[in-house]
Chain A
């Protein structure tokens, strides 16, 4: 390229578009994902902007009712299925898991490529549905609205999500087999990086949960086409059956989004405080506990559907149960900082921001698990605020933090540190200004999915829209300077942060086969006290 880089690595090993589209290298596939989820994030973000602008005033003066409904639906569908779910596993997970465990590639490289194609086909289907009329069901597709009442492109959208679901299942399977079978000699389970543990737990959910979503969407399509009477009482069906099936997948799905994020945060917090994680095995096993318990709480989305008081109490109880392992993680990250050597590098700023936002998101989850309070706040902006704190505050902070952290490894270049710190700060401030007012709005009683609203809600909505424009800038900056750094950034050494972990022992960017000599592991993860200080 510019003459400095002569070593062969995965980026320059082959040239040409086809060498990318037919690659079986997990690192190149990770890049393919990186590009595609970024595009989807941008599209989903544009819809968010439209929604937020409409809400600037109480009247429906910007968008017609149907347009607004399509905007928030497409925003949710794209963000959930085509950004949040794949973002960390498919990009960072794909790139890092084989390297972190000292393997050459994933167990099934061809299936890995197939996963990406399924993702793209699913995304194209959904985008097609969008440009040919859109869909107005919300990302939750509640019946019988979605099966009978909506006359938008429900089926093409569902097909898109269905296809994309297989992408997730295959990636999950690939990770599970890889983590079981391909660890380097000496890398026992309890020496695995927590990032790998988190992805292991995530993959279990993807493999066990996603088929339920797939089947449910098939049923929606059948019901729409042939009025089978599965969900619509007009044909003898049960409208609540859909909600049970949908949340049986979609509640665990929020852990598909947040568990990998927690894995990233564990890596960042240890590296930038140069400390072994506090309570390694508690953090590792809490991922598995969250994955398992996450399957048992779905009906806490349904407390006002008229379910029996006993059922409601059971689901409320287990929901509190699943909160505990999440709390344990936050405490352990905080304790890891104690007596550390803390550097304020940009990835660490993102990680600390994550702890703040995730704590608020998690604590407000307790409100929703508390039966008597949930009745008032469910389906209001309180819920919108809560899930944005967890999914957007949590997942995206971790994703950006992780992207910055491993950027030198992925691209072989360093990003401009000062810009990265500035944007981390902007994201944090903009985020809180956008979503904190929504908690208050929710308790005041503003229902979600409203494009017009009573006047007294306006002030808080204006604050929220103002915050969103700041947040938008915060998300835009990394696009620019990370893009810039690919060409002009300083060349990165193998280990710019002085981090532990096998991925830092190979050059940046890594060679196609990851390691010149297969590594052997003799230490626990995060042995920062045993490591010689060699930054570079």
Chain B
């Protein structure tokens, strides 16, 4: 990031090497064809240059064998690219199960990041080296795109839905974080940095000199130190009154949310959905969209009452599987 000129980007995540290998394969194949075509054109143009004004070369109308050859061979090569590319894409799409979660909200023109431990950062993300990080992201206004060239990852942050990406940093250092989707006036300045630290340093950073930690997040309950974000969600769950309907008791007005996350939910209209982040978000903002079987459509919307970050906190709380089981 420091030097003034480079021809190849830094490689600082586990997938970067895979992407580069595929890229170099593509460079080799296309380089070969580009040089082949250029050479043929130049050689033919020189060798068969017009020598007499009234020259009439013999017509060659075509050759089925050649047409087949130069259809099938490129197609075969293309299939190699396709499968290899799909394999890398799947790697990029599926975070490892032990990934540490970070929540990302894009907003004109900044990146707001929040660790599960509750720590918040703006335009800066600190992570430990060698630890897979899963990002769950959304946007507060227009589409942005979370792009870290050194990690070879890019993912759009889209208002109204959650998208995910992941990376495992392999090198301590500081890397560019760009917004790659045009988002208005200061799009080019929507730049942040990813700071990859030794795990011990990271722990110190988390615990210690935590000047960026924001007061709005209540202190985590001691036994729940690892999930301050969920704690903030629990607080909201009380404050917004969710708990008055969603309690783990017979006869409650709303379905219990304990152990909901990741499971199938049977709906009034006979269909089922998986209770993922998007479903929960929709249920909070637009409760009438999907009614759970056996319940009345009486839940009010919380649109305008919760912002994107609070939504993420509520989701983090519901993910703990304990929502509505504890009363304060």
Which A positions have Cβ atoms within 8 angstroms of B? Answer: 60, 65-66, 69, 136, 138, 142, 144-145, 148-150, 232-234, 236, 238-240, 273-276, 278-282, 303-306, 309, 312-313, 316-317, 320, 323-324, 327-328, 330-332, 334-335, 337-344, 352, 355-356, 359-360, 363-364, 366-367, 369-376, 378-380, 440, 443-445, 447-456, 458-460, 527-529, 531, 533, 535
Contact = CB atoms under 8 A, between A and B. Distances in A.
Interface in B124-181: 141-143, 145, 147, 149-150, 152-156, 158-161, 163-164, 176, 178-181
Contact of B159 (A60, A239, A342): A239
B50 A363 contact: no
Nearest to B21: A372
B49 interface: yes
Closest 4 CB pairs of A and B: A372-B88, A445-B149, A233-B160, A370-B85
B205 interface: no
B22 interface: yes
27 contacts: A69-B185, A142-B182, A274-B56, A274-B57, A304-B154, A309-B86, A320-B82, A328-B67, A328-B70, A352-B41, A356-B38, A359-B37, A367-B26, A370-B81, A373-B23, A376-B149, A378-B154, A378-B180, A379-B154, A445-B147, A456-B1, A456-B3, A460-B5, A528-B56, A531-B56, A533-B56, A535-B53
Interface residues of B, number: 93
A228 to B, nearest CB: 15
B90 interface: yes
Contact of A371 (B50, B89, B142): B89
Contacts of A460: 5
Contacts of A445: 9, 147, 149-150, 176, 178
A304 B156 contact: yes
A309 B85 CA distance: 12
A142 B156 contact: no
Interface of B: 1-9, 18-19, 22-23, 26, 29-30, 33-34, 37-38, 40-41, 44-45, 48-51, 53-63, 66-67, 70-71, 74-75, 78-79, 81-82, 84-93, 108, 141-143, 145, 147, 149-150, 152-156, 158-161, 163-164, 176, 178-189, 191, 286
Contact of B188 (A65, A313, A320, A367): A65
For chain B, what secondary structure do more than half of its interface residues adopt (helix, strand, loop), or is it mixed? mixed
Given A279-B63, A339-B57, A341-B57, A234 B159 contact: yes
For chain A, what secondary structure do more than half of its interface residues adopt (helix, strand, loop), or is it mixed? helix
Contacts of B40: 334, 337
B74 A145 contact: no
Contacts of A239: 143, 158-160
Contacts, number: 293
Contacts of A309: 86, 89-90, 93
Q: Which of B89, B150, B153 has the most CB of A within 10 A?
A: B89
Contacts of B155: 304, 306
A379 B181 contact: yes
A375 B154 contact: yes
Nearest to B89: A371
Contact of A372 (B2, B63, B74, B87): B87
Contacts of B58: 339, 529
Contact of B45 (A337, A449, A531): A337
Given A275-B59, A372-B18, A529-B57, A458 B4 contact: yes
Given A280-B61, A316-B85, A339-B57, A372 B160 contact: no
